[in-house]
Amino acid sequence: MYREIILDHYKNPRNFGELKKPDKKAGKSNAVCGDHIDIALKLDKRGKIVDIKFSGAGCSVSRAGGSILTEIVKGRTVNTIKKYTDKQFMADMDVPITPARKRCALLALETLRQALDIPKKK
């Protein structure tokens, strides 16, 4: 099951590509393995994410993390995302991730926080 979910999101990433005229954007790299993710998003007047895209290069776990994250946060408000923890994201991924790959899985969430100027939550 793990491999199927990760491989599906790796081979067919959701919300992958460039977003024209984003309201917020950020890029972040994982120095340990060389993964890099860029996130761009558009917000409505109430702070709801109306569109989000990610791009970059990396391992299957980081790319799947970006794909899964963008599906989860699209339609949510910045205030909701401010309360979203690493632990919640790992549970929402619904895929067991080894401790060695946790940084890969969380790269997209860390990049989103950077784009929205949100401090890290454990």
Per-residue pLDDT of the chain (122 residues; tens, 9 = 90+): 568 889 899 999 999 999 999 999 999 999 888 999 999 999 999 999 999 999 999 999 999 999 999 999 999 999 999 999 999 999 999 888 989 899 999 999 999 999 999 876 55
What total number of domains does the chain contain? Answer: 1
In a domain, 88, yes or no: yes
Q: What is the pLDDT of residue 75?
A: 98
Q: What is the pLDDT of residue 1?
A: 56
In a domain, 16, yes or no: yes
Domain extent, residue 55, equals 2-116
What's the pTM? 0.92
In a domain, 86, yes or no: yes
In a domain, 89, yes or no: yes
Buried/exposed code over 72-89 (b: 16+ C-beta within 10 A; e: otherwise): bbeeeebeebeebebeeb
In a domain, 43, yes or no: yes
In a domain, 54, yes or no: yes
In a domain, 122, yes or no: no
Can you give the CATH number for the domain in which 30 is found? 3.90.1010.10
In a domain, 121, yes or no: no
